[in-house]
Amino acid sequence: MPERLICRGKNPHPFIVFLILAACVPAQADMGTATQTLNVVLLPAGKISVPSGFTLTTTGTTFNAYRGALRISYRFRTAPGGGGSISLRAASDFMPPGGPSIAAGALVYACGAAGLGAPCAGFQTVSTTLATGVILVPESACTGGGAPCSAADPAVVELQFTLENSPEYQTGSYASSLVLTVSTL
């Protein structure tokens, strides 16, 4: 039976009236409270930011090594029993040919102090085939906000690059691409 006819009916039966009244009574009489549990799973994560490029320079004209710095900003969240890392690899050798060669081991770097995790130790030789370490992040680590996370957000590490200055290089401008990869567990 259409609801409109029930609510607007003339001289309805009392029971029907009760039903009508029960149906038409405002919702306030049925309101209550309900709870719901919200769950979120935070997975380990790591992200980095690097400048689009940087330049190596030398001092004087007597074959002093070329030097330059790369500043890496990063954020991490690692799980108990897990960890994370940042590694570096050259996507290609210096181009065009005739100048310095990464494959020949001419390019090395050292890691400065890290805002989170352990920086690489000593000099790392850049490779076009193997990734070399930059940062190792321990388990249950996080970036920003102070203890138990790091103080700074993002954390920062600076790499100091050194390139041999051999007389055998032809004069000119050369470039390569360095790829930094984040992994987390």
* Residue number, 127 or 176, with CB nearest to another protein: 176
- The answer to the question of residue 100 lying near another protein (CB under 8 A) is yes
Q: Characterize 79-93 residue by residue with b for buried, 16 or more Cβ atoms within 10 angstroms of its Cβ, and e for exposed.
A: beeebbbbbbbbeeb
Amino acid at 96: P
Q: Which two tokens stand for residue 142?
A: 């996080």
- The answer to the question of residue 160 lying near another protein (CB under 8 A) is no
- The answer to the question of residue 128 lying near another protein (CB under 8 A) is no
State the minimum distance, in angstroms, from the CB of residue 79 to another protein: 16
Contacting range for another protein; rule: CB under 8 A; set: 1-9, 67-75, 113-121, 144-152: 67-75
CA 104/CA 128 separation, integer angstroms: 10
CA 98/CA 113 separation, integer angstroms: 35
- The answer to the question of residue 53 lying near another protein (CB under 8 A) is yes
- The answer to the question of residue 177 lying near another protein (CB under 8 A) is yes
CA 175/CA 66 separation, integer angstroms: 13
Q: Which residue among 6, 73, 103, 132 contacts another protein (CB under 8 A)? A: 73
- The answer to the question of residue 108 lying near another protein (CB under 8 A) is no
Q: Which helix (H) or strand (E) holds 71?
A: strand 66-77
Coil, helix or strand at residue 29: helix
Q: Which residue among 8, 24, 54, 125 contacts another protein (CB under 8 A)? A: 54
Q: Which two tokens stand for residue 135?
A: 């940062």
Which residues are near another protein by CB under 8 A?
46-57, 61-63, 66, 68, 70, 72-75, 91, 94, 99-100, 107, 154, 161, 163, 165-182
